[in-house]
Amino acid sequence: MSRSTDDLPLVRTTRVGSVRMHAIEAGLQWLDGGAMFGVVPKPLWERKIASDERNRIPLALRCLLVEAPGALVLIDTGIGNKESEKFRDIYGVDNAGEPTRLEDGIRAAGFEVDDVDIVLSTHLHFDHAGGNTRRGEDDGIVVAFPRARYVAQKGEFDFAHSDNERIRASYLGHNIDPVAEAGLQDFVEGEAVVTEGVRVIPSPGHTPYHQSVLIESEGRTACFLADVCPTAAHLPLAWIMGYDLEPLVTLESKRGLWERARNEDWLLVFEHDPEVAWGRLDPSEERPSLVSTEGAPEGS
Ligand SMILES: [Zn+2]
C-alpha cells in the first residue's frame, strides 16, 4: 500500500492503439475512509484499503497526459500548491515538487508545462482542478498552463458557482475563476470530441455534470473514469462514495460504463487508487473485477 509519495512511480506510460499516454502520480491525499465508501461497512472496505489512526485512507492524485495526434492533453491536475497548511493537514496532501509533483511528472514524461495544449477537467472539485492554477512568486494566483485551452462541462462550471452549503467545501474559486478571467476556459455540453482521439462522455452522479474521458485509437479504448469509480475497490456497483451527490445516478453511470468496458475491452484508468493505475474488466466474471492489478507494460 502506498503510504507516501516515495512509494509511487512518478510516471507510468502505456499505449492505446498508436497513442501514448502517461499516468502521472501527482501526489497523495488522505480522505475519510467512511466517506470514500458510503454505505459499505468498514469491515468490508478496510480489507481493500487500510485506514490510518484518523480513519483516513491514502488516495492517489493520478492525472493523465495524452499524446493525442493533434494536441497534448492533460486530464485533471490534482490539488496544486495554493492551499493552507491547515488544509494540507486535514486532507493529508503530499504533492510537493517544482512546484508540484504534477509538473515534475510532465517533465519526466518528456514535456514542458508550456507544451500542454488542452487541460481537460472531469469536474471542478479541488482534488481534480487544484492544479489548474498556481500560486506564483509574488503570492498572486495565476493560470498554471498559460498556453493551454481549458475544457470543462458548461453545466459543471455553472454548478460549481451555485454555492450551496453541501457543495461549498469542494469547489474553490481560486481553482476555477482565474482561468475564466484569463479567457482560457472553453466548454463542452454532453458527449463531445475534445480533439482527435479524446472524447468526453457524461458519467453523472458524483456531481450532476461529472464526465469521464475516452482515449480512442485504432479500435482500442481507454477510459479515465475519474470519480464515477475512484479506485478499483469501487468497481462493484453498490460501492459508491458518500461524497456523491446523486448515488443512484452514479449506480446507473457505472452500470452503463461496465457494459461498454466489457464489450469493448476498455483499459480502465483509476484516478484515486493508491496502487492500481489501470486494468481491464474480466469478461468471465459477473461481478466487475479486473483481469490484472498490475500496471500494464509499455506497448500493451
Ligand atoms: Zn476526486
pLDDT at 88: 97
Residue ranges near ligand 1 (ion) with Cβ within 5 Å: 127, 227
What pLDDT does residue 299 have? 42
How remote is the CA of residue 207 from the centroid of ligand 1, in Å? 11
Residue 90 CA to ligand 1 center (angstroms) comes to: 15
Q: How confident is the chain (300 residues) per 10-residue block, as mean pLDDT?
A: 79 98 98 98 97 97 98 98 97 96 98 98 98 93 98 98 93 98 98 98 98 98 98 98 98 98 97 96 92 53
The reported pLDDT for the residue numbered 2 is 62
Cell of 120: 481537460
How many Å lie between the centroid of ligand 1 and the Cα of residue 128?
6
Give the predicted TM-score (pTM) of the model: 0.96
Q: How far is the CA of 58 from the centre of ligand 1 (A)?
A: 12
